[in-house]
Amino acid sequence: SVAGQIALMNQNIMEEASRDAHRTAVGSLVGFAIGLAVCIALGAFAAWYIFHAVLGPIRAVTQSARGISTGNFDQVVPYLSEDALGQLAEAFNHMTQCLREQRQSTEERTQELVQTTEALRTEISEREQMERELRRLAAIVESSDDAIVGQSLDGIITSWNKGAERIYGHSAKWIIGQPQSILVPPEHENESPAIRARILRGEHVDHFETVRKTKDGQRIFVSLTVSPVK
């Protein structure tokens, strides 16, 4: 009876020990599973962090570079660190800022050039119109049958039209630069100073009848109209 009780006691003790061992094994397995899950989570977080910290800025730089290639200079790469990637992002942002400033400066300069071009086009058009008018007036003077003669205030002939050549006989090539006194007979030399004095005062001399001489010395009666050219 005592031996049976001892055997039963030993059996109970062994069963209890077996249950304890089983519980210990289950707890170990659970702890291992929890530890493995934590390691996997840490690994996933580490992978995400590496992707965000390394590949993220690189992808942002790549996308921004593509945007710049299409002409969009409003690109900013975010950077949260001071390492090499942060320096790369900072350098890229500085480059895009410089490009934006250059584009703005170029646009402003282009606008100024457009305005200047328009002003020059208008001025050139006005000059061309003025030149056409001057050529038309010159053609009228050159084609006139009247003698139209230009001279300086000291009496030097500066222009000579075809009408003057026909009336006086002197060619323009020869007479330009000569004193106008060669056209005045000696008995009328006192007229020129009086006419010049009136011109210096801004006055006009209308239909002044006098005598002039031609290339061959012939006296001709002329009616002078003398006006100051300002």
> DSSP of 164-218, one letter per residue?
HHHHH---HHHHTTSBGGGGS-GGGTTHHHHHHHHHHTT--EEEEEEEEE-TTS-
Kindly tell me if the per-residue pLDDT of 85 is higher than 80. Answer: no
Kindly tell me if the per-residue pLDDT of 212 is higher than 90. Answer: yes
SS (H, E, C) 79-94: CCCCCHHHHHHHHHHH
pLDDT of residue 103: 78
Contact 164, 149 (CB under 8 A): yes
Give 21 or 93, the one with higher predicted confidence.
21
pLDDT of residue 3: 81
Kindly tell me if the per-residue pLDDT of 222 is higher than 70. Answer: yes
pLDDT of residue 27: 83
Least-confidence region, from 13-17, 75-79, 121-125, 147-151: 75-79
Instruction: Tell me the average pLDDT across 6-26.
Output: 81
pLDDT of residue 184: 93
User: What SS3 class is residue 47?
Assistant: helix
Pairwise CA distance, residues 128 & 135, whole Å? 10
Kindly tell me if the per-residue pLDDT of 61 is higher than 80. Answer: no
pLDDT of residue 49: 74
Instruction: Tell me the average pLDDT across 114-130.
Output: 92
> What's the whole-number average pLDDT of the chain?
84
Kindly tell me if the per-residue pLDDT of 80 is higher than 60. Answer: no
Quote the percentage of the chain above a pLDDT of 70: 83
Instruction: At 106, list the tokens.
Output: 């170029």
Give 175 or 72, the one with higher predicted confidence.
175
Kindly tell me if the per-residue pLDDT of 48 is higher than 80. Answer: no
